[in-house]
Amino acid sequence: MITVTLPTHLRDLAKVTGAVELQVADPVTQESILDALEDAYPMLRGTIRDIVTKQRRPFIRFFANGEDLSHQPPSAAVPKEVAVGGQPFRIIGAMAGG
Amino acid sequence: MSEVRVLVGTSKGAFILRSDEKRKDWTVDGPHFPGWEVYHMTGTPSDPNRLYVSQSGGWFGQVIQRSDDAGKTWEAVSNEFVYDGETGTHQWYDGSQHPWEFTRVWHLEPSPTDPDSIYAGVEDAALFHSADGGKSWQELPGLRKVKGDLWQPGAGGMCLHTIVLSPDNPNRMVVAISAAGAFRTDDGGQTWMPINESLKSDYELPDAEAEVGHCVHSINMHPSNPDILFMQKHWDVMRSDNAGDSWYEVSGNLPSDFGFPIVVHAHEPNTIYVVPIESDSHHFPPEGKLRVYRSRTGGNEWEALTHGLPQSDCYVNVLRNAMCVDSLDSCGIYFGTTGGQVYVSADSGDNWMPIVHDLPRVLSVEVQVVP
């Protein structure tokens, strides 16, 4: 199982209170995690990545295992620690503002 | 006794203010969707417990929420607003052409008869319709074919913010776009025409009487007189007696004819209300006095309504979707400010009181009277 953490606004939108657990087939990539997340929580479609282009929204970041994965290709495999469920895939609302 | 529900969208969530017909004692329910911008929350005339909300934000984009129990519970419905066919381009700030890009929904306008039928006005300007209660949206692309390449964003974005449905002709509707102007369809949205003849934008446009490009801030009408339209333009309060085919100015003795909302009394088709703002560069009331102006003559002759409103050191604004009227016998007038106050007058504007003082910046105000 993959563990995904969401920022507060998206937890509220998805009506969850903590991290979510997802079954994701190998190979585990950003894209496959987000596909599984949106299948389980369709209200999140369009809030993390564009509905049509699937591009990450500008103020969303993906962190995992101490790394910023935001600029990696969506099809790139996530770190093994995330793929085996040891570390969460963290979806972050980026710092923005003064 | 009827319940009065005031639906308030703010920059940090939605609030539902409730009272009875007296409109003196109020409860505050909210924030719903805390932290999100709620550009519009509205009720459905044919099913008052059906509410729709446009919820958005810079981080997470657009969400549409629907409630079927008057706001007790909410369901996120479709947020898939995809322009029909070739996306096309419009004029950008530097004069170049720029692709249409969806940003948010500014205004939701439900059908008066079918709770599942609802229109959405969006930025970048376009009109969408849902026939299934928001589960899917389809653009009415004919609108953007009306010289869309010449439309350009104003300071607030290129938004379709006003949708006026004709009460007696389901094929007719009027929309307004900043900064493109007003447009009308007479065939249910298939084809559109600009209705900007005799609007003058001396300072904003190189051709003051251009066919498109005017910064229309809001349009309203009385259901008994659907051919009479009232417009608050960037500058100028305007009136049309022929459904927008032509306009004439009715600013009369207003202290400023700049402003955002314009509304019509529920039972007096010639009684209209505006909130004058000093200028486009000073978005606050003249002399620091928050005054609603009422005309009982369909324009030109205006009286200041001040009782209960701050008459010194007041520098708030009232945005285009933040004023409305109720349908009670003694017509209620409501407006919200950028300072977070929501005011009510239960006697057609003669006397005012704040319902709440300290909400976030108010973006929209709608009212329902529920039997």
| Residue B348 burial by Cβ neighbours in a 10 Å radius (0-12, 13-18, 19+) | buried
Q: Which residue of A has its CA nearest to B34?
A: A9
> Which residues in chain B have Cβ-Cβ distances shorter than 8 Å to A47?
60-61, 63, 79
- State pLDDT tens for residues B142-182: 999 999 999 999 888 899 999 999 999 999 999 999 989 99
Residue B268 clears pLDDT 80, i.e. is over it: yes
Q: What angle do CA B258, B262, B267 make, to 5 degrees?
A: 150
A93 neighbourhood in chain B, CB within 8 Å? 59-60
Separation of alpha carbons B349 and B295, rounded Å: 11
Report the relative pairing of strands B323-325 and B333-336 from DSSP bridges: antiparallel
Nearest to B80 among A48, A51, A60 (CB): A51
Confidence at residue A9, expressed as pLDDT on a 0 to 100 scale: 96
Note if the pTM is more than 0.80: yes
CB contact under 8 A, A47 and B33: no
Rounded Cα–Cα distance for residues B155 and B148 (Å) = 18
Nearest residue in chain A measured CA to CA from B74:
A13
Terminal Cα-to-Cα distance of chain A (whole angstroms)? 38
Q: Cα A5 from chain centroid?
A: 7
Which CATH code is given to the segment(s) A2-93? 3.10.20.30
Give CA–CA dist B347/B215, Å, rounded: 32
Domain membership of residue B254 (yes or no) is yes
Give me chain B's average pLDDT, please: 96
- Residue B95's pLDDT band (boundaries 50, 70, 90)? confident
Residues in chain B: 371
Q: Which three-class secondary structure state does DSSP give residue A34? A: helix
Q: Is the pLDDT of residue B137 over 70?
A: yes
- Determine contact, residues B171/B226, Cβ cutoff 8 Å: no
Residue B227 lies in a domain: yes
Query: What residues form DSSP beta bridges with B176?
Result: B162, B182
| pLDDT tier for residue B224 given thresholds of 50, 70 and 90 | very high
Per-residue confidence at B201, pLDDT binned at 50, 70, 90? confident
Which secondary structure element, helix H or strand E, spans residue A39, and what is its range?
helix A30-40
Average pLDDT of span A83-98 = 88
In a domain? residue B49: no
pLDDT of residue A51: 92
Residues 79-98, chain B, touching A (beta carbon < 8 A): 79-80, 82
To the nearest whole Å, the CA of A8 is away from the closest chain B CA by: 10
Express as a percent the part of chain B with pLDDT over 90: 92
Mark yes or no for CB contact A7/B33 under 8 Å: no
- What residues of A are in contact with residue B58 (Cβ under 8 Å)? 59, 96
Residue A78 confidence (pLDDT):
96
Determine the residue type at B363.
L
Residue type, B122: V
Q: How confident is the model at residue B18 (pLDDT cuts 50, 70, 90)?
A: very high
Predicted-complex ipTM score? 0.93
The pLDDT of residue B237 is 98
Instruction: Report the pLDDT value the prediction gives residue A20, as an integer from 0 to 100.
Output: 97
Query: Is residue B208 domain-resident?
Result: yes
CB-based contact A43 B59, cutoff 8 Å:
no
Range of the domain at B269: 84-334+342-358
Q: How far is CA B134 from CA B53, B113, B115, B165, in A?
A: 10, 16, 10, 18
More confident residue, B156 or B367: B367
Confidence band of B205 (pLDDT split at 50, 70, 90): confident
pLDDT reported for residue B164: 98
Partners of B57 on chain A (C-beta within 8 Å) are: 9
Residues in chain A closer than 8 A to B61 (CB atoms): 46-47, 57
A–B interface: beta-carbon pairs under 8 A? 44
Reply yes or no on whether the pLDDT at A98 is more than 80: no
Single-letter code of the amino acid located at B143? L
The mean per-residue pLDDT over the stretch B241-248 comes to 97
What pLDDT, in 10s, does the model give residues A2-54? Answer: 999 999 999 999 999 999 999 999 999 999 999 999 999 999 999 999 999 99
Q: In degrees rounded to 5, what are phi and psi of residue B166? A: -70, 135
Q: Is B99 on the interface with A (CB under 8 A)?
A: no
Listed by start position, the domains of chain A span 2-93
- Residues of A at the B interface (Cβ-Cβ below 8 Å)? 7-10, 12-13, 42-43, 45-48, 51-52, 57, 59-60, 93-94, 96
The H or E element containing residue A40 is helix A30-40
- pLDDT value, residue B211: 87
Confirm whether B79 is domain-assigned.
Answer: no
List chain A residues with CB under 8 Å of B76: 13, 42-43
Best residue in B38, B60, B83 for a mutation probing chain A (most A CBs within 10 Å): B60
Please tell me the total count of domains within chain B. 1
**Cβ atoms of residues B355 and B322 within 8 Å:** no
CATH number of residue B283's parent domain: 2.130.10.10
- The span from the CA of A87 to the CA of A64, in Å, is 7
Mean pLDDT of the region A53-61: 95
Interface touch A60/B63, C-beta < 8 Å: no
Residue-level pLDDT at A97: 63
Question: Of A43, A44, A57, A61, which to mutate for an interface test with B (greatest number of B Cβ within 10 Å)?
Answer: A43
Q: What is the mean pLDDT of residues A47-69?
A: 95
Structure tokens at B348: 């057609």
Chain A residue at shortest CA distance from B83: A52
B81-84 long-range contacts (CB < 8 A, ≥24 apart) are B81/B105, B81/B120, B81/B122, B81/B126, B81/B128, B81/B137, B81/B139, B82/A51, B82/A52, B82/B137, B82/B139, B83/B126, B83/B139, B83/B141, B83/B144, B84/B138, B84/B139, B84/B141
| Confidence bin at B133 (pLDDT 50/70/90) | very high
